[in-house]
Structure 1
Amino acid sequence: MSEAPEAAPARADCVADSAGGLTFHIADRARPGPGGHDDWSGALVLVRRGAADTPDGEVRLPLGPTADGRLQAALPSTVALPEGRWDVHVAHRDTEPRRLAPGLNDLRSLVDRRPGPSTNPLSVRIPYATKHGNLSLRSWRRAPHAEAGEIRLEDGTMAVRGRLYRVAYPSEWLAEAVVEARCRRSAAPVRTAPLVVDGPDFSFTLSYAELARSWDGGAQVWDLWLRPADESMAPARLARILDDVADKKEIFTYPPRTVSGPHGEAQAQPYYTRDNDLAVRIEAPA
C-alpha cells in the first residue's frame, strides 16, 4: 500500500491507556460506509511494514459508532501486535483500505508509565505522524524488558539506571546478572560489567576504554543487554519505550567522549537506535 497520502484523508484521534491499549476515533468523514446510514461495516486496518503478506502482517479492528456520531475502534493490550511499524488504514466492505491522517493524541497515560507485575509480554504502542503526514504506530512486545532510565556521562564512563519488567521475580533474575555489550561485528569479544541491584531496579557503569580495546578504526556499534546468571533465562535488551516518544534517536542525544584505542583516539557516544534500544557507538573523531 502506498505511503503517499490521499487528498484530504480522514483523521483519527488516538487515546492511550496505561495498560498499553489504544482507542481510535475517526474525527473526519465520521459517517457510515457506502451502504448507507445503517452500514457500520467498516474496519480499522493495521498493516505492518515489510510484512503485509505474512500471517501476522495485518490486523483488522471493527469500527462502531460512538454517541457523538464518530467511528471508533479499540486495540486492547491483549491483542498481540508484533514489533514493528504499523500503517493505519480505514476500510468499508470490500473497498481498498485508505490511509488515515493523525488527529489529536492523548498519550498522557504513557508518560512515566510503570507497568504492574506480570510475566506476560509488555505491550507498547505509540502513534506518530510519518514524514508524509500519515498515521502509523510503533509497536514493541517484550518479555523480559529492561527499561533504561537516567544516563550520566562521566570521564570515560557511562552510568545507567533502569528497571526490569515482565519476569516473575525481578530481584532473583537480576542476582549475579551482568550488563553485556555485544558488538554488531561478530569478531569483537563481548564486554561485561556488574550490576548494582535494588529489587527490580538496577544500575551499572560501563567503561568506554573497555569497548575501545578492540576498535579497528572504523565505526563500531555495541548493543546493551542484561544477561542473567541462569542461562535458561532469556536476556533483556536495554531500551527506553515506556513513554510517549516513538523515535528517540534524534531527541535523546548524548555528547561524545574521547577515548584511546589501538588506532589512536576515538569517540564514544551512547544513543538510542531506531527501535529505541540503547547502544554505544565507537568511531573516529569527526
Structure 2
Amino acid sequence: MPLAPAAEGRLRAALPSSVSLPEGRWDAYALLSGGEPRRLVPGVTDLRSLAERTPSGLLGHVAVRIPYATRQGNLTVRSWLRAPHAEAVELRLASGGLTVRGRVYGTQFVPGADAELRARPGGGAGGEDGGGVRRVHVTAERTEFAFTVPYEGLVPGVWDLWLRPAGDAGPVVRLARLLDDVADKNPVFTFPRARVRTPQGPVEAGPYYTRDNDLSLTVSPLDADA
C-alpha cells in the first residue's frame, strides 16, 4: 500500500475493503525510500464501526479485519474470511447444557438443518460406539437460528461446534464470533462451567472461544465423589 501525506509530519496508508485479505494475522511494517522495513506500533484507534456494522452477506462471504497491539506492542491485523459464516450472537448457560443463538451470512436455511458437534482429534472425545459426532436440532427463522446442546450426551474431550443450514447436502459452517471489535475473544469472554452427571460419570462442561474466535466446548471428567 502506498504512503501518502495526511497531516504535518504524518503519512497515511489505507487498505480498501475491496482488496481481499486472506484469513490470518498480518504484521504491519513501514518501508521508506532507501530504508529497511520497520515494524509499526498502533496509535489511537476507534473501532466502534466494527461493533456497529451488520454485514449483508450478499457477496456470499463475511470479511472481518481487526487491528490490535501484540504483546510486544506492535501493530497487527487479524483477518477472517468466511464463506458462508455462522455468527454466535448469544450464549445462554443452564445447569445441563448450552443454548446458542446466532445468525448466518451467505447461505439460507432449509428443512433438515441441524447443528453438529465434532470431537476434536486428539482432544480425548469419542462418543457412543466410538463416534466423534453429535447432532442437535436447529430452529431457524430467516437468517436467525437457535439450538441447545445437552452436556449429558458428551464424553470428556474438546468438541467443536458447526452448523449445517442446508442439512447433509449443504455446507458445513464453523460457528464463531467475529462481528465485534475484540481480536482475541478467549481471555475476554469467559463462561462458567457446569457439573453434570453422565453415563460415563460426572463431568464439568462449558463453552469457550478458540484462538481463532471459533466456538467450542470442553468436557472434563470429575471424581465420582464430586
Same fold judged by TM-score > 0.5?
Answer: yes
Partner Cα distance (1:111, 1:174) in 2? 29
* Corresponding position of 2:138: 195
Pair 1:118–1:94, CA change in 2 (3 A): farther
Q: Deviations over 1:60-80 (max 9, x none)?
A: x11111255521111122211
Of the three residues 174, 177, 187, the one matched with 1:250 is 187
Partner Cα distance (2:205, 2:82) in 1? 28
Pair 1:103–1:177, CA change in 2 (3 A): same
Matched, 1:106 2:41: no
Aligned residues: 216
Contact preservation (8 Å) 1:175, 1:197:
no
Matched, 1:259 2:196: yes
Matched, 1:162 2:102: yes
Normalised by the size of structure 2, how large is the TM-score? 0.88
* Corresponding position of 2:13: 73
Partner Cα distance (1:120, 1:63) in 2? 32
Matched, 1:227 2:164: yes
Contact preservation (8 Å) 1:196, 1:203:
yes
Matched, 1:206 2:142: no
Q: Higher Cα Rg: structure 1 or 2?
A: 1
Identity %: 51
Question: How far off is 1:285 after superposition?
Answer: 4.2
Question: How far off is 1:260 after superposition?
Answer: 2.4
Of the three residues 118, 127, 141, the one matched with 1:182 is 118
Give 1:4-43 correspondences, 5 Å limit: none
Of the three residues 60, 63, 68, the one matched with 1:128 is 68
Residue 207 of structure 2 aligns to which amino acid in structure 1? P
Alignment RMSD: 1.9
Partner Cα distance (1:231, 1:77) in 2? 33
3-state secondary structure, aligned to 2:56 = coil
* Corresponding position of 2:216: 279
Partner Cα distance (2:15, 2:110) in 1? 33
Pair 1:232–1:70, CA change in 2 (3 A): farther
The answer for unaligned runs of 5 or more in structure 1 is 1-60
Question: How far off is 1:210 after superposition?
Answer: 1.3
Q: Greater shift after overlay, 220-229 or 66-75?
A: 66-75
Question: How far off is 1:155 after superposition?
Answer: 2.2
Matched, 1:95 2:38: no
Q: Greater shift after overlay, 65-74 or 80-89?
A: 65-74
